[in-house]
Amino acid sequence: MSRVAVVTGAGRGIGAAVVNQLAGDGWSVVAVDICEDLPGVPYPLARREDLAALAAKWPQVRDFVADVRDPGAMRDAVALAESEFGGLDAAVGAAAVMAGGKPLWETEDGDWDALFDTGVRGVFNLARAAVPALLRRPEPRAGRFVALASAAGHKGLWHLAGYNAAKHAVVGLIRGLATDLRGTGVTAVAVSPGSTRTSMLDATAALYDLDSVEEFSQHQLVERLLEPEEVAAAVCWLCDEKASAVTGTVVHADGGFTA
């Protein structure tokens, strides 16, 4: 029987890469994305056709348009996984947005709210919905909860203090969740990417008035931008039953950004 996952932020970028890799490995997946633009987010988000393309590509993927800021929507996504596929084995919180571009003392409420409502409260809402389902699996369990943090969760970034704070919060949430899950067989881990070739990185370059996202590559030991599939490989390994020794910590899939 295939393992089952719910993945948020699945419309594009790292989230879509996670869905593709899990499905390619035989997982059944509920792929979740809001598929609309948000106040305070200065760039377009994924569209319904992006999410639908995943479901069209993989017969065992269900596209589910939902807002991670809505606890009920996250419960509905988990309920779909259980009703359609018989249970839940992993939840991946990849939904996040970029906002900022000013010193902290000039940061507007809308920017701060956008960062925390999607990037932190969204992970919180997913955890509240998914963990009970992971614990409903019979023992010995091998449930996995993985959240996307960032190199910004470990290192200050110029004019992105709000984003720094949100990603630090994700790391703290994961450490606390893993401690609450002690002895259950369910693990909780954060993955912190470096500069990855996504729409969010394009938005970051725009905040910095950069001519090209390639300028971010100079901060990484690999001397290039990462591809979403590289980060997704770390996430998908952590979803595997074999990753049972890794919990309450961070996997730095950052190309050496924080070295």
User: Tens digits of per-residue pLDDT, 142-159?
Assistant: 999 999 999 999 999 999
Q: In what order do the strands lie in the sheet with 187-193?
A: 61-65, 28-33, 4-8, 90-93, 144-148, 187-193, 249-253
Q: What is the pLDDT of residues 214-257, one digit of tens each?
A: 999 999 999 999 999 999 999 999 999 999 999 999 999 999 99
* Triad 11, 17, 20: Cα angle to 5°: 95
| CB neighbourhood size of 39 (10 A) | 8
Active-site annotation, residues: 163
* Contact (CB, 8 A) for 178 and 248: yes
pLDDT at 1 over 90: no
pLDDT > 90? residue 129: yes
Query: 252: which 2 tokens?
Result: 């730095």
Mean pLDDT for the stretch of residues 5-27: 98
Q: The domain at 4-253 falls in which architecture?
A: 3-Layer(aba) Sandwich (3.40)
Res 127 pLDDT > 80: yes
Of 103, 122, 232, 234, the closest CA to residue 169 belongs to 122
Q: What is the pLDDT of residue 226?
A: 98
Whole-angstrom distance, CA of residue 122 vs CA of residue 141: 25
Domain ranges of the chain: 4-253
CB 64 within 8 A of CB 39: no
pLDDT digits (tens, 9 = 90+) for 73-122: 999 999 999 999 999 999 999 999 999 999 999 999 999 999 999 999 99
Is the full-model pTM beyond 0.75?
yes
